Amino acid sequence: MENRNSKGPEYIQRFSLNFRIQHIVLFVSTITLIITGIPLWCLGRPEYAWSQSVVQAFGTVATIRWIHRVAAVGLIAVSFYHILYLIYSREGRREFIELLPMPKDFVDVTIKSLYFLGLTKNQPRFGRYSYFEKFDYWAVYWGCVIMIGTGLVMWFPDIAAKYIPWLSYELAAEIHADEAILAALALFVWHFYNVHFNPSRFPGSGLWWHGRMTREQMMKEHPLEYEKLVRK
């Protein structure tokens, strides 16, 4: 497949297997959490009592809750692993540095905005991660901290009541639900647009599976990284 020629490889290996597996575990658990989270949120809200009949088709609330918790374990595991990955692997450390917000990102946002407004014809030139990819990453970071924290409070209310009494069950439930709505919207609207519905990507690329990007695409979307790779 790798058709080596003077211009460099046709495909560029952008993400390692390790990184891809992390992403797969993350999205499988997140989507499961969203689907199972909706009926759990409807519990105790009589105006959404109909949701219970939908639940009945798949089992009891206990089953749904069990699935939600299994998925939660997946999310917690991948988050925990990711932190170890960032600290202990060379690759992880490098990725982390690449993902840190830089002044250039703000410049890029400005250029892009001007471009959108038709005030400039220049597009910002991105390195390994564009500002919106960095945004995705840090949004997930923030989301995981909040969702896992408040989720654990509801899962183990006795321990939470003992050690963090200020974070009541109701407050945790409120934050959990509010952040879930934000995260789900960002995921299905923003992230899905960028990777699926965007005309240049529709219906999606296999990047998440094989981790490769074509040279053309690379030159277009991550020119700085491409140039860096070619220079090597």
Partner 1 sequence: MNQMRISLGLAIAALLLIPSWIQAQPKRQAPRACPPFYLRDSMGNEINPFKWEQELEDWKKMMGDFGDGAPTDPAVYGMSIPPYSPKRTCGECHNYNKITAGYHFRMGSDVLHDDYGANKDDPWSISDGICGKFSRMYFLQFPRKHFANPNQIDMGLYTWTSRCGTCHPGGGPLEFDRNGHRLDDYDPRGAESSDGDYYGAHWDLSGALEADCLFCHLETYSYQERYEQIQALNFRWAPTAGAVLGKVNGSIAAYLGSLEDPQVETLPLPTVEYNKSLFLPDGRVHLPIKRPSDRNCLLCHDLSFTEKHGTTFGDTYSVDVHSKRGIRCIDCHPGGLHHNFAKGNSHELSVRDDLDGTAHTCEKCHTVGHLGAPKMVHKGLPPIHLEKIGCEVCHVPTLQVAAIGMVDASLGRPITIISSEGPWFGYREEETTLVPLRWAEIRDVIEKLVEEASESEKEGLKDANGDGLPDFDTEEEILKALQALYQIKEFQERQLIYMIKTKVQTFATAFEAFLVYELQPNHTTLTYEVFRDIPEAPKWRPKYGEVVAEWRPVYATDESGKIRAYNNQTAVWWGHKEGDIIVPLFLREISESVDAAVAEANPKDDDKEIIRLHKPQDKYMKFYNDFLDKDFAKDHDGDGKREINTETEIANFSALLRKHLAGKRFEKLNPVLVSGSKVYEAAEDGTVKSYEHPQAKPVLWSVSHNVAPRGESLGAGDRCEECHSPDSYFFFGKVLLDPYSPDADPKPVKIAMAQMMGYPDARPDSAPVIVRTSAFFKWLTIITMTLLVLHIIADLFRRTVGRKGD
Judged by the rule CB under 8 A, the positions of this chain that interact with partner 1 are 40, 43-47, 61-62, 65, 115-116, 118, 121, 132, 154, 156-158, 160-162, 169-171, 173-175, 178-179, 181-182, 185-186, 189-190, 193, 198-200
Least distance CB 174 / partner 1 (angstroms) = 5
When the beta carbons of 99 and 109 are compared against partner 1, the nearer one is: 109
Least distance CB 158 / partner 1 (angstroms) = 5
Give the bridge partners for 213, in sequence order: 12
Q: Check: CB of residue 34 under 8 Å from CB of residue 184.
A: yes
When the beta carbons of 22 and 130 are compared against partner 1, the nearer one is: 130
Least distance CB 120 / partner 1 (angstroms) = 10
Residues in CB range of 215: below 8 A, 6 or more apart: 7, 8, 9, 10, 11, 12, 226
Least distance CB 76 / partner 1 (angstroms) = 18
Least distance CB 7 / partner 1 (angstroms) = 25
Least distance CB 22 / partner 1 (angstroms) = 24
- What number of residues does the chain have? 232
When the beta carbons of 100 and 159 are compared against partner 1, the nearer one is: 159
When the beta carbons of 44 and 206 are compared against partner 1, the nearer one is: 44
When the beta carbons of 181 and 224 are compared against partner 1, the nearer one is: 181
When the beta carbons of 13 and 110 are compared against partner 1, the nearer one is: 110
Least distance CB 194 / partner 1 (angstroms) = 8
Label each residue of the chain as H, E or C: CCCCCCCCCCEEECCCHHHHHHHHHHHHHHHHHHHHHHHHHHCCCHHHCHHHHHHHHHCCHHHHHHHHHHHHHHHHHHHHHHHHHHHHCHHHHHHHHHHCCCHHHHHHHHHHHHHHCCCCCCCCCCCCCCHHHHHHHHHHHHHHHHHHHHHHHHHCHHHHHHHCCCCCHHHHHHHHHHHHHHHHHHHHHHHHHHHHHCCCCCCCCCHHHHCEEEHHHHHHHCHHHHHHHHHC
When the beta carbons of 87 and 182 are compared against partner 1, the nearer one is: 182
